[in-house]
Amino acid sequence: MSRVRPKVRRSPALSVLLALALAWGAAAAPRSEGPLRAYLPGDTAVPGWAMDGAPQEFEGEDLYIYIDGGAEIYEEYGFARVIVQDYKNTAGKSVSLEIFEMEAPAAAFGMFTFKRSGRGRSLELGGGSELESYYLNFWKGRFLVTLTGFDESEGTVVGLLSIGRAVAAKLPGGGEAPGLIAALPAEGLRPGSVKYLKGVLGLNNVYPFYAARGLAFKEAVRGIYDRGETLILLDYGSVEARRAAWLELRAEIQRSERFEPAKNYLADAFAFEDGKGQYVAFGEAGARLAVGIHSTLEWALATVARVR
């Protein structure tokens, strides 16, 4: 193996100056440890598990170095920094710990809802958590924590939980979800289905509109209900902004080859068939646009009617 560095031609004088500058910089501003190190469980915090190697830390746009090709969604929610630390137990099992500090608790909650599948096991951990076959996600305050095992063995899962609890005990902050979550009618809502969204990338992952305009919402929430109906609430911050956005979005959808206007409905809502066997109904509700999605027109419309 070889690691290749480019050849750089410098004058001797420039080299001396550069060396002096680097030496001065190193002395004046020694590389400090990031603030997230305080939340890492130490070698004795979790019996049987010890740190394996040094932590890695990435801040701001450097997230693209760590999550090359996948940092955009974190940036959309509002990312500050991350620390990554591996742990190993005496049996040789490994767990990777990632603590993401987001810009606000709503961002941490949003990324948590984005990353969970809703099919895992919910645990009493932080503001909310989900344990899936080989990984655990939870959030607390403005922090999102992801622990990954590299198999599904009992020893690994015990490690995920033990390290997770040790981190949760150190993290500040509470577990209050953004207010928009409460706008989803509670009856029949599948708890693990709730996703809090801050932009189009997140929205595309729950329902792609393939629209270029009308989707500049401030925040949004998605819930799935007992009959499989989906409700999305897009909040634009004001009635005026919502009205303007809806005009744009409706025009986009009407122009789209993908959406066909739904026939034979009497409600005062707009509804379309999306070419994928789903009906999509829209309803205006103050600063919010309600979107109901179901395989039947009746239930798509009924879903919207619940929040109008």
Partner 1 sequence: MARKIGRREFFRRSAGAGLTLALGRTLSASSSAGRKAPVVGVGIGSDNEQAAVKAVQLLGGMKKFVTKKAKVALLPNVQSRHPGSYTKPEVLRAVIKMCKKAGAREINCLSWQSMKQWEDTGLKAVIDAEGVGLKLFEKDEALFRPVAVPGGVALKEARVLAALYDHDLFINMPITKDHAGNKFTGTMKNLMGLNSPVNNRTFHHPNWQTDPEAVAHLEQSIVDLNKALKPALNVVDATEIIVTNGPFGPGQLFRPGKVVAGTDRVAIDAYCASLWGLDPKDIVQIKKGAEQGLGQIDLAKVDLREENI
Residues of this chain that interact with partner 1 (CB under 8 A) are 1-8, 64, 67-70, 72-73, 75-76, 96, 114-115, 117, 119, 132-135, 146, 148, 150, 199-201, 204-205, 208, 210-213, 215-216, 276
- Could you tell me the smallest distance in angstroms from the CB atom of residue 131 to partner 1? 11
Between residues 62 and 268, which has the closer beta carbon with respect to partner 1?
Answer: 62
CA distances to 124, 153, 194, 204 from 232, rounded to whole Å, are: 27, 37, 10, 12
Contacts (Cβ under 8 Å, ≥6 apart) of 106: 178, 196, 198, 219
Between residues 56 and 306, which has the closer beta carbon with respect to partner 1?
Answer: 56
- Could you tell me the smallest distance in angstroms from the CB atom of residue 67 to partner 1? 5
Between residues 122 and 148, which has the closer beta carbon with respect to partner 1?
Answer: 148
| CA–CA dist 272, 293 (Å, integer) | 10
- Could you tell me the smallest distance in angstroms from the CB atom of residue 264 to partner 1? 26
Between residues 211 and 301, which has the closer beta carbon with respect to partner 1?
Answer: 211
- Residue 148 in contact with residue 16, Cβ under 8 Å? no
- Could you tell me the smallest distance in angstroms from the CB atom of residue 305 to partner 1? 28
- Could you tell me the smallest distance in angstroms from the CB atom of residue 302 to partner 1? 26
- Residue 142 in contact with residue 173, Cβ under 8 Å? yes
| CA–CA dist 5, 271 (Å, integer) | 58
- Could you tell me the smallest distance in angstroms from the CB atom of residue 150 to partner 1? 7
| CA–CA dist 275, 206 (Å, integer) | 16
- Could you tell me the smallest distance in angstroms from the CB atom of residue 267 to partner 1? 28
- Could you tell me the smallest distance in angstroms from the CB atom of residue 270 to partner 1? 20
| CA–CA dist 18, 90 (Å, integer) | 46
CB atoms within 10 A of CB 269: 18
- Residue 139 in contact with residue 123, Cβ under 8 Å? no
Contacts (Cβ under 8 Å, ≥6 apart) of 88: 49, 50, 52, 94, 95
Between residues 4 and 13, which has the closer beta carbon with respect to partner 1?
Answer: 4
Under DSSP, is residue 272 helix (H, G, I), strand (E, B) or coil? strand
| CA–CA dist 275, 133 (Å, integer) | 34
Between residues 146 and 162, which has the closer beta carbon with respect to partner 1?
Answer: 146
State in Å, rounded, how far the first CA of the chain is from the last one.
63
| CA–CA dist 71, 73 (Å, integer) | 6
Between residues 213 and 243, which has the closer beta carbon with respect to partner 1?
Answer: 213
Between residues 82 and 304, which has the closer beta carbon with respect to partner 1?
Answer: 82
